[in-house]
């Protein structure tokens, strides 16, 4: 097996840092919401508008946060990771 270029190792490390950071963010958001469900039911039952409680609003925000974090990763991958990987492939073909 040929040695792995240092640029590829750095790119892989950057991908892991992004993935771990976004995973940690989503885990914190989700666990925080679950802890609110477990320990702050009266707070989540607070009515914001007719038919809308704080719990429902926060649940929707958890889902939106997941979509936002996915968007962040996809944009990062498309702009940085994929282009850097393509550059490394072009360099290795030469």
Which DSSP string corresponds to 6-47?
A: HHHHHHHHHHHHHHHHHHHHHHHHHHHHHHHHHH-HHHHT-E
Domain count, the chain: 1
Does 1 fall in a domain?
no
Band of the pLDDT at 92, cuts 50, 70, 90?
Answer: confident
Domain, as residue range, for 15: 6-93
Q: Give which of 39, 78, 36, 41 is closest to 61, Cα–Cα.
A: 36
Mean pLDDT throughout 26-33? 98
Does 82 fall in a domain?
yes
What is the value of pTM for the model shown?
Answer: 0.86
Q: Inter-axis angle of helices 6-39 and 54-76, to 10 degrees?
A: 180
């Amino acid at each position: 097996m040929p040695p792995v270029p240092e640029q590829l190792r750095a790119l892989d490390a950057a991908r892991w840092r992004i993935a771990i950071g976004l995973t940690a963010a989503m885990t914190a958001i989700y666990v925080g919401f679950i802890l609110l469900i477990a320990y702050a039911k009266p707070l989540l039952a607070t009515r914001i508008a007719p038919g809308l409680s704080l719990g429902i609003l926060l649940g929707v925000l958890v889902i939106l946060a997941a979509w936002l974090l996915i968007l962040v990763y996809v944009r990062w991958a498309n702009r940085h990771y994929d282009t850097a990987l393509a550059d490394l492939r072009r360099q290795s073909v030469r």
